Amino acid sequence: MSTENYVCIACPIGCPLELVHEGDQIVDVSGNKCVRGAKYARQEFTDPRRTFSTTVPIEGSNWARLPVKLAAPVPKDRILEAAQAVHQLRVQAPIRMGEVLARDLLGLDGVNVVATRSLGRA
């Protein structure tokens, strides 16, 4: 049996998590104050994923950039690749918060690029 230690990133509390495993088999997770911590530790052990926010250039608005986020996380080792793909997007005002700007980024199911604010025409 071996253990892995993580810091939970599910909320600002940042619980120190301990995951006990036997090879690929997870035996126990402790240290979490809520269920999301346990879920996070399991995910982190089997397939670590991250989501991120960035901006894309927007035309026709008072602002130069539109903030966006990913609707679902991408594998941790593909973050930079995903960021580069998002940065290729070009959008035109007006945009509504929640608008999907691109679907299934990098061919990953459900990894949509979503506008995180509304921007009207200049």
Partner 1 sequence: MRDATTCDVAIIGGGIVGCMIARELSRYRLKVVLVEKEAEVGFGTTKTNSGIIHPGHHTTLDTLKGRLVVKGNQLYDTLQAELGFGFRRIGELVVARTEEEVGVLREMEELAHQKGVPVEMWDQARLRREEPNLSRELIAALFAPTAGVINPYELAFATIESAVLNGVELWVDALVTAIDPVDGGLRVTTRDGELTAHTVVNAAGVFSDRVAAMVGADTFRILPRKGEEYMLDGRLKGLVRRLVFPVPNKVSKGTLIIPTYDGTIMVGPTAIDTDDRHDVSTSPEGARQIFDLVRGLCPSISERDTISEFAGLRAASDTGDFIIGRTAVPGFYNAAGIQSPGLTAAPAIALYLIQQMGEDGLALVEKERWEPQVEHPVRFAQRSVEEQRALVEADPAHGRVVCRCELVTEAEVRAAIAHGARTVDGVKFRTRTGMGRCQGGFCTTRVMELLQEELDIPFHSLTKRGGGSWMVTPMGEEA
Partner 2 sequence: MFGRMNRRYDTVVVGGGPAGMGAALGALDAGAGKVLVLERDGEAGGILNQCIHAGFGLQYFREELTGPEYAERFLAQVIDRDIDVMPSSYVTGLAVDSEGTKQVRVLNERAGLASIEAASVVLAMGCRERTRGSIRIPGTRPAGVLTAGLAQKLVNQKGYLPGKRVAILGSGDIGLIMARRLTLEGAEVVGVFELMPYSNGLNRNVVQCLDDYDIPMHLSTTVVEIHGRDRLEAITVAPVDAHLQPQLDKARKVPCDTLLLSIGLIPDNELARQIGIQLDPVTGGPVVSSTLETSLPGVFACGNVLHVHDVVDYVTAESLRAGGFAGEWSREIRRPKDSIQLVPGNNVRYCVPHTLSPDREHTVFMRVKQRVEPARLRVGGLMEKTLRFVIPAEMISLKIQPEMLDRFHGDRLTIDIDPA
Which chain residues interact with partner 1 by CB under 8 A?
84, 87-88
114: β partners: 69, 100
Report if residue 63 touches partner 2, rule: CB under 8 A: yes
Report if residue 69 touches partner 2, rule: CB under 8 A: yes
Report if residue 35 touches partner 2, rule: CB under 8 A: no
Nearer to partner 2, 12 or 23 (CB): 12
Nearer to partner 2, 25 or 112 (CB): 112
Report if residue 111 touches partner 2, rule: CB under 8 A: no
Q: How far apart are CA 16 and CA 3, in angstroms?
A: 13
Binding at 8: pick from partner 1, partner 2, none (beta carbon under 5-8 Å per type) = partner 2
DSSP per-residue codes, 27-39: EEEES-SSHHHHH
Q: How far apart are CA 73 and CA 34, in angstroms?
A: 20
CA 37 to chain centre: 16
Judged by CB under 8 A, which of 47, 100, 106, 117 binds partner 2?
117
Largest CA distance in the chain: 61
